[in-house]
Amino acid sequence: MVTVDELFALDTLLSDTERQIRETVRRFGEQRLRPHVADWFERGTFPARELAPELGELGLLGMHLDGYGCAGTTATEYGLACLELEAVDSGVRSMVSVQGSLAMTAIHKYGSEEQKQQWLPELAAGRAIGCFGLTEPDFGSNPGGMRTRARRDGTDWVLDGSKMWITNGSVADVAVVWARTDERIRGFLVPAGTPGFTAREMRHKLSLRASITAELDLDGVRLPGDAVLPEAHGLAGPLACLSEARFGIVFGALGAARDCLSATIDYARAREVFDKPLAAYQLTQAKLADMAVELGKGTLLALHLGRLKDRGELRPEQVSAGKLNSTREALAVARECRTILGANGITLDYPVLRHANNLESVLTYEGTAEVHQLVLGEALTGAKAFR
């Protein structure tokens, strides 16, 4: 018997360091996270405060950023870590993505030296948690329409508006909030506890339940002049951060798919129907073979994109291709696995429906599947079809 990794000889494409990082994160995921994740999912909770320092100690927060206490790994190493975290649950990978690729990347890319010194070492160590507030109740795929405003009052800024679906929002020590100004869209660092700023956890989610999601309200939030990210001007600022987070998803979603497939193969070998193992039926094998091929192809693409990124050659539409493929195929794999598990597949005793439900969010956030089709459509034809 071979695993998908062995079938595609994926290890031959990895360096010793990459394999080592992958094993370390896999071990952490299996030992520290997996025993609890179904319970977190069922209760709709995630112990972000407790886990952040442990994730920080492993170097997983702001992993591919340089300096300020960050691990400074390659993009491919970061991707492989995302894959292993998401093999446990997309919620864990989301926490790490939002902290590192969104909040920390925004500060690292666009912040002043003082902002970097103040926040990055704390965020890298997991002593502080960050969130990234771009989406609003009426503006998700089209963040350029945002209504949240920041106006000047003397040397201060005053922010009014609301943000929705913000991962880590109600546990964050600092929120990177994007707002419209008289000139262009700018980014602001809003510390928790600032008067007028409230974060309310969103409940009743059926997806990413082991992840904290919040609504942010900004009601006359007064910030000093130096709360603005000095180097971010316009929507290109947040979009570049999103591209970083999408890159992690290209790898991450495949982790969820791998976990579904391996749980399903184990199940199909053990479960007997009509007097023989489910795994010995041609219909089951056809499903498993097709899923293994998709997972292998997706991983090869992810590694290729990782190498391009490490050479500084990765283009946004290539990230879109990877995000679209990984999330769409991972969701299809999770659903197909669920059929093989029959009724057991709908329980939290097996990971497949939990992953499938999580992947619904992963398909939607960081640019929906349709938005990435539009990005690719524009790249292929030269015609913009967003409006």
Residue numbers of the site for ligand FAD (CB under 6 A)?
A: 98, 132-135, 140-141, 165-167, 208, 213, 361, 364-365, 368, 370-371, 374, 386
The minimum distance between CB 98 and ligand FAD, in angstroms, equals: 5
The minimum distance between CB 383 and ligand FAD, in angstroms, equals: 13
Q: Write down the H helix ranges in the chain.
A: 4-7, 16-28, 34-43, 48-57, 75-88, 90-97, 105-110, 113-125, 236-270, 282-310, 316-340, 352-364, 369-381
8 A C-beta contact, residue 260 and residue 355: yes
The minimum distance between CB 14 and ligand FAD, in angstroms, equals: 30
Indicate the residue among 279 and 362 with the shorter CB distance to ligand FAD.
362
Q: Which two tokens stand for residue 225?
A: 């002049």
Q: How far is Cα 323 from Cα 198, in angstroms, rounded to an integer?
A: 32
The minimum distance between CB 215 and ligand FAD, in angstroms, equals: 11
- C-alpha atoms less than 13 angstroms from C-alpha of 125 in its C-beta half-sphere: 9
Indicate the residue among 284 and 361 with the shorter CB distance to ligand FAD.
361
User: What is the dihedral sign for C-alpha 48, 51, 55, 57?
Assistant: positive
Indicate the residue among 175 and 260 with the shorter CB distance to ligand FAD.
175
The minimum distance between CB 178 and ligand FAD, in angstroms, equals: 8
The separation between CA 293 and the C-alpha centre of its own chain, rounded to angstroms, equals: 24
Which residues contact residue 344 at a Cβ distance below 8 angstroms, ignoring those fewer than 6 apart? 267, 350
Residues belonging to the active site: 366
Count of other CB atoms within 10 angstroms of residue 206: 10
Judged on CB neighbours under 10 Å (0-12, 13-18, 19+), 35 is exposed
Name the residue whose CB lies closest to ligand FAD: 140
**Beta-sheet pairing, 149-153 with 156-167:** antiparallel
Residue type at 326?
S
Indicate the residue among 74 and 101 with the shorter CB distance to ligand FAD.
101
- DSSP class per residue in 178-221: EEE-SSSEEEEEEETT-TTEEEEE----SSS-SS-EEEEEEEEE
The minimum distance between CB 205 and ligand FAD, in angstroms, equals: 7
Indicate the residue among 4 and 55 with the shorter CB distance to ligand FAD.
55
Indicate the residue among 102 and 268 with the shorter CB distance to ligand FAD.
102
Cα distances (Å, whole numbers) of residue 359 to 89, 120, 141, 328, 343: 10, 29, 18, 8, 20
